[in-house]
Amino acid sequence: MAELYELNANIASEIPIPLEVITQVDQGANPDRWLKSFVERAAHENMYTNGILSNINQYRTLLQNKLADHFPELHQQLNQNQNQNSTSTPPDKSDNPPANSTQV
């Protein structure tokens, strides 16, 4: 195991090897199994997060529709505010002027 840690320290700057993989090799396990479970876990968490985002978007759409039904003037105002926010661009935060402008 000490040799593996030493090899990992020597090549860590070139090829990062997760400590879990080294531990799996030390225990005689196949590191591909660890990688497979890691990828499956990441895919599961991704599906879970996408489900939450989908539900939030569905709720937002439902809320907008109900607002439009019961409070049409509020719905129009919210749509105007949303359109203004989506069309406005944030100011350029760089201190450098655009290339085609002249400084005064």
User: What pLDDT, in 10s, does the model give residues 14-62?
Assistant: 777 788 888 888 899 888 888 899 999 999 999 999 999 999 999 999 9
Domain count across the chain: 1
E strand segments, the chain: none
Residue 75 is encoded by which pair of tokens?
């719905």
* Domain span holding position 15: 2-70
pLDDT value for 47: 98
The pLDDT of residue 44: 98
Residue 94 has pLDDT above 60, yes or no: no
Residue indicated by tokens 């990441």: 42
* Average pLDDT value for residue range 78-99: 64
pLDDT of residue 23: 87
Calpha distance 46→52 (Å, rounded): 10
Domain contains 100: no
86 domain residue, yes or no = no
- Residue at 21 is within a domain: yes
Quote the pLDDT of residue 97: 47
Q: State the pTM of this model.
A: 0.52
Task: Supply the pLDDT for residue 77.
Answer: 83
Closest CA to 5 of 15, 17, 14, 13: 17
In whole angstroms, give the CA distance from residue 64 to residue 4.
58
